[in-house]
């Protein structure tokens, strides 16, 4: 499935026709077992002009990224981590930014205990030291999401 086809399918989820939504959901359920789905959701999250598509892409990314992560090559993993941080920083819509933070938190839950995402903490540290209040806010959003994903005994 191409990114454009996935985009069209995701847009069907917003239709008022329950049959269309049900059919799209069934197709997505099967497709989200493939690594290609993860790659295409990342593309839509990072480059689609439609806010709803970026947001729903994040929702599904959060659900599948942990399961598909081990299948990615080390280069794909590095690219994914960098893309998530870059899009979190650049996303103009607050709600989508929060959804990207949730994807980061979900992925962080498996990477942070193994010290496999040092760039995340470098990003947070640099953001807290920035002059601009918006940069500091980014760090606080990420920290709050990371805390949500870890239990008290894990912190």
**pLDDT value at residue 147:** 86
Handedness of CA 4, 93, 14, 101 (dihedral sign): positive
Q: How many domains does the chain have?
A: 1
Give me the mean pLDDT over the 47-66 stretch: 96
Q: Residue 19 pLDDT > 70, yes or no?
A: yes
**pLDDT value at residue 151:** 66
Residue 34's pLDDT band, with cuts at 50, 70 and 90, is: very high
pTM of the shown model: 0.91
Q: Are 138 and 127 in contact (CB under 8 A)?
A: yes
Range of the domain at 75: 3-154
DSSP 48: -
Average pLDDT, the chain: 93
Give me the mean pLDDT over the 115-132 stretch: 92
**pLDDT value at residue 152:** 58
CATH at residue 72? 1.25.10
């Amino acid at each position: 499935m191409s990114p454009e086809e996935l985009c069209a399918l995701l847009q069907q989820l917003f239709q008022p026709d329950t049959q269309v939504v049900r059919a799209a959901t069934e197709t997505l359920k099967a497709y989200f077992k493939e690594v290609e789905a993860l790659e295409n959701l990342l593309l839509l999250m990072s480059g689609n002009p439609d806010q709803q598509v970026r947001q729903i892409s994040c929702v599904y990314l959060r659900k599948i990224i942990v399961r598909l992560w081990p299948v990615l090559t080390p280069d794909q993993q590095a690219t994914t981590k960098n893309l998530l941080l870059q899009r979190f920083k650049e996303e103009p819509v607050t709600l989508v930014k929060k959804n990207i933070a949730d994807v980061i938190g979900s992925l962080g839950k498996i990477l942070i205990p193994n010290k496999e995402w040092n760039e995340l903490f470098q990003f947070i540290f640099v953001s807290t030291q920035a002059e601009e209040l918006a940069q500091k806010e980014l760090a606080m959003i990420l920290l709050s999401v990371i805390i949500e994903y870890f239990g008290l005994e894990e912190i």
